[in-house]
Amino acid sequence: QVQLVESGGGLVQAGGSLRLSCAASGRTFRSYAMGWFRQGPGKEREFVAAISWSGGSTYYADSVKGRFTISRDNAKNTVYMQMNSLKPEDTAVYYCAASKSRLWTLVGEYDYWGQGTQVTVSS
């Protein structure tokens, strides 16, 4: 079992930055790839970024590439996402999730989810 708790969301102006954190419980955290997803108002949940269990591989949605950076600290059981140059269209609830699959972009390939943290970007 892995329990995930996100934090770091908030209200920011366009062009600003936020860093999201996702704290995981359980000794098996380091065996999971971790992903960030988001769900805007009236939209489906979409993939944002993912990182391998070791942190050696990352993958990003085209919409955030070059602006967002995912990282992890296995000693702290935490995954992060640094979000820079935020845009109003980044407004959403952001979720972290854990997966043992290599199909990182698919919602159904994740075993555990956090409760989400709201990010609101004003224009």
User: Each residue of 52-65: pLDDT tens digit?
Assistant: 999 999 999 999 99
For residue 90, which phi and psi values (nearest 5 degrees)?
-85, -5
- Quote the CA–CA distance of 46 and 50 in Å, as a whole number: 12
Within 10 A of 109 (CB to CB), how many other CB atoms are there? 16
| Tens digits of residue pLDDT in 8-65 | 999 999 999 999 999 999 878 889 999 999 999 999 999 999 999 999 999 999 999 9
